[in-house]
Structure formats: structure tokens, C-alpha cells
Amino acid sequence: MADFKSPVQGSKPSIVDTTITDFRAAIRDLARPNLFQVEMAWPEILQSSAGTGKSGAKLGSQDLQTQEGASRDPSGNSPAEAALTAGYLIKAANIPAATVGVIEVPYRGRTLKIAGDRTFEPWTITVLNDKGFALRSKFEEWSTKIQALHQNLQEPRVIAEYQSDAMVRQYDRQGGVVRSYKFVGIWPSTISAIDLAWDSNDTPEEYTVEFQVQYWTYANDNNAGNAVSLTGG
């Protein structure tokens, strides 16, 4: 067990004796929640329909080019065009929680708490809706290939075909990546409604997408300028 000793008289001042200058020197700087980027790979069922193969378009990557002959959704958007806008339109996301279950073992009127199993909560992003519905159309296509709208059928033959990976990067104020998280085996379980109203002025449409996650891990990613392979380890 850790041994927390009381401060010795004449040693460094305790926290109650420090000044704002001491506080500034101690913290140096703080992470900012608005300095982030989301990058996501389309699943195999969408890549195959676009003719892009396993190295298909990634949402949020800045160097994507429209694939020649790529299939387009009903709004006329190719997968690569939808991906190009994603880095700008995903306005909110989250860094995942780390949750380990608790097993409570009773013993003579007391309870011993030991570590149980790890669980992974759903991951949610908030998206600004572009006027062509490019990104929403791809999310809806992803969802309907998993489960058809008009009947209880799905297109993918194996689970891996409709699951994909995503990356969230946190930046510092100098533009460097300070932490990256990789979400593995995600798929959209809920695409939220978009509320429409005649008296809704001076506000863009937005919606959320909730993904189920197999697990997340820390990503070894120090170069935000390069698209990271999300299928590797």
C-alpha cells in the first residue's frame, strides 16, 4: 500500500500555501476538448459496392480522391466524396471510458471487491448535416445493409463485412498528436432523427450516430498528417 507521509516542517510548501504562479508552473498547459479529429474506415460491404477493395475510403482523411467508377448514393455522392467531408462535419465525439466490472464477495459482514470483466460502452459522434446528405446517406446505407428496411434480411454473410474501425486523435495547441484511440469492430446501431421546424432559424441540421464497439485500444500514432491504416495492429 502507498505510504502517504505528512509534510515535514521546513520542506516545500503545502498546496494551501502555493500561489497562482506555482499553479501555473505546475500544470504547464491543459488539454482542449475542441482539438480533435475523427477518422473512420468504411466497412467491407460499402467498399465492395464502391469498387475500392479493402483499402477503400476513410472518413476524415484529407488526401482521398474520388474513385473512378465508384458507386454513388441516391444523392449523387461517391464514398470518397462523403469521406472527404467527414473530417469537417463530425463536430463532436468522445474519448472512451475505461470500465472494469466489480465482483463483490461477502465475508463475515463485509464485502471484498475484486476486479471483474471489462465492458465497452457505445461510442457516439455528432455530425453536421451537409446539404447533399452525403455523410448521412453513407451511414444509412451502412445500416440498411446490416438490416434491410422492408424485411428481416441482411446483406453481409459474415460479421466482419459490416464492422469497421475508427480513430480519435487529441491534439495539443501546437498541432501535435498527444493521444490516439482506436475503436475496433464498430457498427452503427442508431442514426438519430433530424428535427424539422418552420421556426428553427439560424441553426444547421445535426444528428448523432451511435456505434457499438467490440473494444478500444491505444493507438501508436504520432503523425496526424498521414492516413493511418485502421486494419492493422
Read off the pTM. 0.76
Please tell me the distance from the alpha carbon of residue 101 to that of residue 114, in angstroms, as a whole number. Answer: 9
Q: Which three cell numbers stand for residue 182?
A: 482506436
Question: 63 pLDDT exceeds 70?
Answer: no
Q: Which three cell numbers stand for residue 45?
A: 460491404
Confidence of residue 27 (pLDDT cuts 50, 70, 90): confident
Provide the pLDDT for residue 2.
67
CA dihedral of residues 169, 165, 117, 102 (deg, nearest 10): 40
Provide the pLDDT for residue 155.
87
Question: 32 pLDDT exceeds 80?
Answer: yes
Q: For residue 82, which of 45, 124, 143, 40 has the smallest C-alpha distance? A: 40
Angle at 166 between CA 160 and CA 170, to 5 degrees: 165
Q: Which residues contact 218 (CB under 8 A, 6 or more apart)?
A: 179, 180, 181, 182
Confidence of residue 60 (pLDDT cuts 50, 70, 90): low
Hey, what domains does the chain have and what are their CATH numbers? 31-218 (2.30.110)
Range of weakest confidence among 15-24, 42-51, 166-175: 42-51
Measure Cα distances from 72 to 46, 143, 164, 209 in Å. 11, 16, 20, 21
Provide the pLDDT for residue 103.
97
Please tell me the distance from the alpha carbon of residue 200 to that of residue 190, in angstroms, as a whole number. Answer: 24
Provide the pLDDT for residue 62.
38
Range of weakest confidence among 45-54, 55-64, 73-82: 55-64
Question: Mean pLDDT in the chain?
Answer: 80
User: Mean pLDDT throughout 39-59?
Assistant: 64
- In tens, the pLDDT along 181-223 reads 999 999 999 999 999 999 999 999 999 999 999 999 998 765 4
Question: 56 pLDDT exceeds 80?
Answer: no
